[in-house]
Amino acid sequence: MQKQLILEYKGEELSGILIKEDEKYMTLKLKSGYNANIKKSDAKIISEKNIEIKSNGKTTIKINNSLPKVAILHTGGTIASKVDYKTGAVSWKFTPEELLHLYPELLEIANIDAKMIRNMASDDMRFEHYNILIDEIEKSIKEGAKGVIISHGTDTLHYSAAALSYAFEELSVPIILVGAQRSSDRASSDASSNLRAAVNFILHNEKSKEKYNRVGICMHEGISDDSFLIIDGINSKKTHSSRRDSFKQINYLPFAIINKKDEVEILRNEILTNENKKVKHTKFNVKLKIGLIKIHPHSFPEEFTHLNFYNAVIIEATGLGHLPISQIDEYTKSHSKILEEIKSLVKKDKKIVIATQCCAGEVCMDVYSPGRILNKTGVLGNRMNLIPETLFMRLAYCLSKDKKNFEELWNSNLEGFECRSVDVNMDL
């Protein structure tokens, strides 16, 4: 049994379920789904009653086989979570069956085939999990799915989108990753609306002559439920820790907008296809070690020495792709040693890729002298506009697929659109 309290607190009336208390404080779970930590001495209890928190009653799930089949592969995350009223925390504990009970409206528009892959926080994702997803996606497509939805935690959702974008060299249906920033039992939950938008996009895509047979993300365009974005898996990024519209397409337009009437507006026709390709993929080498470091003021050569541990490294450089490699006075003598460490790593056949830590733009090491010096060491990434997370997965894919012909593969068009500039055209 739980206590439901109504109390007066600093001139306001609050109502919620008591989930924790000690001598000085109590924690209420409000109707909004948020926790309120209240100092007892500032609160006056107006009323209280004991209630029993029951799980949702389950009804028989009716599948309409005449509707198009859409697979949902569940990996965990907020999209399939609810509040644990004993602890006040959110936990991702729903099974695929419970997921359908949560969102029965999906069964009215599609034949939903939901499968449990994992129930995990997205921070725990590893290459092994990507390989499991690759197998399950291929299986779902062979079983007739017109599209595959992956319910996923938002924290590393954009990493997974990039990973699957590279892993699947050819696709016959769209793969859409869907997350949520609010748990399913919150009034402000975006879980149901994100899922519905993703299903409707797949249904729209199935009817279209030219198709989006790629990996994308479906999330809110703004904070309201008026519209949703299909963001391509290449150069997608979580830009806010909690907003419903946290996912953005960097350096490009998103692929499409879906309005509240489920109408789809295509923004990037260049990545549509009318080819009916078979599924083709490459799995990740789980033994690969890829590092990701950030350049900052007051750097030391020792920060680069430890990179010998990795097979490859993404360096988030400043601006156009700069590192502190110039000795300009008695305080910057160590900077020349940083350059020597980079040269040493490249000579050892460590793949070093330069990315920009700026929010948008591209790397261009041809503009300033230090950049040109760095570029001559053999580092990669010059004139590319891919974000660090995408470059991380590009590296992993290339090293997994063909290490012997890495250079040829790296320089090929793996994205299906041009992501690198040919001429230097910078507004400086």
Which pLDDT score, from 0 to 100, does residue 79 have?
Answer: 67
**pLDDT tens-place string over residues 294-323:** 999 999 999 999 999 999 999 999 999 999
Which pLDDT score, from 0 to 100, does residue 90 have?
Answer: 53
Residue range 142-158: mean pLDDT, rounded: 95
154 is catalytic: yes
Annotated catalytic residue within 238, 248, 350, 401: 238
Alpha-carbon distances, residue 21 vs 2, 30, 45, 259 (angstroms) = 12, 15, 14, 44
Q: How confident is the model at residue 76 (pLDDT cuts 50, 70, 90)?
A: confident
Dihedral of alpha carbons 383, 389, 393, 399, sign: positive
Annotated catalytic residue within 75, 78, 156, 356: 78
Q: Tokens 């490859």 map to which residue?
A: 312
Question: Tokens standing for 395?
Answer: 């590296």
Q: How confident is the model at residue 428 (pLDDT cuts 50, 70, 90)?
A: very low
155 is catalytic: yes
Collapse the DSSP code of 169 into the 3-class scheme (helix H, G, I; strand E, B; otherwise coil) and give the result.
strand
The answer, yes or no, to whether residue 247 has pLDDT greater than 90, is yes
Q: What is the spatial distance between Cα 26 and Cα 38, in angstroms, rounded to a whole number?
A: 5
**Fold assignment, 69-281:** Rossmann fold (3.40.50)
Residue range 107-128: mean pLDDT, rounded: 92
Annotated catalytic residue within 84, 113, 155, 262: 155
Q: How confident is the model at residue 95 (pLDDT cuts 50, 70, 90)?
A: low
Among 81-95, 145-159, 227-241, 323-337, which is the least confidently predicted range?
Answer: 81-95
Which pLDDT score, from 0 to 100, does residue 423 have?
Answer: 61
**pLDDT tens-place string over residues 189-199:** 677 889 999 99
- Domain boundaries in the chain? 2-51, 69-281, 290-410
305 is catalytic: no
Q: What is the mean pLDDT of the chain?
A: 89
Please determine, looking at this structure, whether the domain spanning 2-51 carries the CATH number 2.102.10.10: no
Annotated catalytic residue within 75, 82, 154, 237: 154
The answer, yes or no, to whether residue 380 has pLDDT greater than 60, is yes
Q: Are 209 and 225 in contact (CB under 8 A)?
A: no
How do beta strands 69-74 and 111-116 pair? parallel
For the 290-410 domain, the top CATH level (class) is alpha beta
Instruction: Please check whether the two domains, 2-51 and 290-410, share a CATH topology.
Output: no
